[in-house]
Amino acid sequence: MLEIHKIPVHTPYPIGPVNSYLINNRPYTLVDPGPDTEEAKVSLTKRLTSLGVVLSDISRVVLTHYHTDHSGLARWLSGITGAHVYVHKYEVRKLTFDYDFFQERLPFLREAGLPTEVLREILEDIDPVEKPVLPQTGLEILHGGEVLEFEGGSLLTLHLPGHSDGHICLYDEASKNFLAGDFILKHITPNPNMEPDPSDFNKRLPTLSQYLNGLEFLENVGARLILPGHGENIDNSRDAVSRAKKHHRERLAVVTSILEGNSLSVYQVMRVLFPHATGFQIYLGISEAFAHLDCLLAGGNVTKKEIGGVSFFRKAS
Ligand SMILES: [Zn+2]
Ligand SMILES: [Zn+2]
């Protein structure tokens, strides 16, 4: 049996701590070590010590996705322990020194009809934590479907995109424990983050459709306990899946009603959904609005017209 310990690690973000998980079986493995901050290093090391594990015991680090709060400490850990870092192939480019998150998404922000001063407001909302970067050696690329073997058990990697295109979950088929990363959380719904298609950077991935497909998959997995990347465990996966589905169904209905008799840009839709958003929250709001509009467009529920490089959406008649 695998012995899995939850380790809440400090982050400077409004979401609060990130949950790192220690698999206390050889080879000792840490899932999502946390952000690269001194506070995170202290909370992680302290808890590992109380579990009788020293850092040098860690030989594998698995990243569920590239976000700073989950992945930042992978490089530091690998540097001091020699641990190999396991990450999905789509996340690798986003964890390099040269990666420019906004540059890659600028065409979409232009298409959204974002006023210049609002774009500036987003860009000036600087992340307090340095951008995470992968170590140069000891990288293990995941595609989903790999089995990570341990003394006493194994974890199956599952590629479940939607929150990030290279998002990985881990499933212990023996105990039916499901390590979810940010795929599903107890009290909030993860943002279907705007992502360019890795095979054509001018196109957006259908992140909400990908996410809804992932929820269908999770519903059929029959997980007993979900161990999420933030907050409390989820002991009823079917309820959690139906709550997440309901949330998106309702938001799709709200977006459709906003477009009843109106032709609006993504920015205008975002302002109706999140009137008080500031700084980076505006970016997240645009991402949320785009995900739902792209999904409605694919389903024939809305139409899209481009004027001067900006897309305007309207409810289909
Ligand atoms: Zn995330
Ligand atoms: Zn997170």
**Could you tell me the CATH number of the domain that includes residue 187?**
3.60.15.10
pTM of the predicted model as reported, rounded to 2 decimal places: 0.96
Ligand 1 mean position, distance from CA 233 (Å): 17
Mean per-residue pLDDT for 234-244? 95
Question: How high is the pLDDT of residue 289?
Answer: 98
Burial letters 52-79, b for 16+ CB under 10 A, else e: ebebebbebbbbbbbbbbbbbbbbbbbe
What is the DSSP code (8-state) at residue 93? G
Query: Which pair of structure tokens corresponds to residue 222?
Result: 């029959």
Ligand 2 mean position, distance from CA 58 (Å): 22
The ligand minimizing its distance to the Cα of 91 is 1
Give the residue numbers spanning the domain of 202: 4-100+131-257
Phi-psi region of 204 (alpha: psi -120 to 50; beta: other; left: phi over 0): beta
264 within domain boundaries = no
d(CA 137, CA 65): 19
Question: How high is the pLDDT of residue 248?
Answer: 97
- Residue 317, pLDDT > 90, answer no
122 within domain boundaries = no
Ligand 2 mean position, distance from CA 131 (Å): 14
The ligand minimizing its distance to the Cα of 167 is 1
Contacts of 255 (CB under 8 A, 6+ apart): 269, 273, 289, 292, 293, 296, 302
Phi-psi region of 16 (alpha: psi -120 to 50; beta: other; left: phi over 0): left
262 within domain boundaries = no
48 within domain boundaries = yes
Q: Sign of torsion, CA 215 221 225 228?
A: negative
Ligand 2 mean position, distance from CA 123 (Å): 20
86 within domain boundaries = yes
Query: Which pair of structure tokens corresponds to residue 66?
Result: 């590239």
- The percent of residues above 90 in pLDDT, for the chain, comes to 98
Please give the helix or strand (H or E) that residue 9 lies within, else none. Answer: strand 4-9
Query: Which pair of structure tokens corresponds to residue 31?
Result: 């899932």
Mean per-residue pLDDT for 193-199? 95
Number of domains forming the structure of the chain: 1
Ligand 1 mean position, distance from CA 65 (Å): 7
The most distant pair of C-alpha atoms in the chain lies apart, rounded to whole Å, by: 64
Ligand 1 mean position, distance from CA 229 (Å): 8
113 within domain boundaries = no
Mean per-residue pLDDT for 241-263? 97
198 within domain boundaries = yes
Burial letters 84-119, b for 16+ CB under 10 A, else e: bbbbbebbbebbeeeeeeeeebeebbebbbbeeebb
Ligand 1 mean position, distance from CA 317 (Å): 36
275 within domain boundaries = no
Q: 275 preceded by cis ω (within 30°)?
A: no
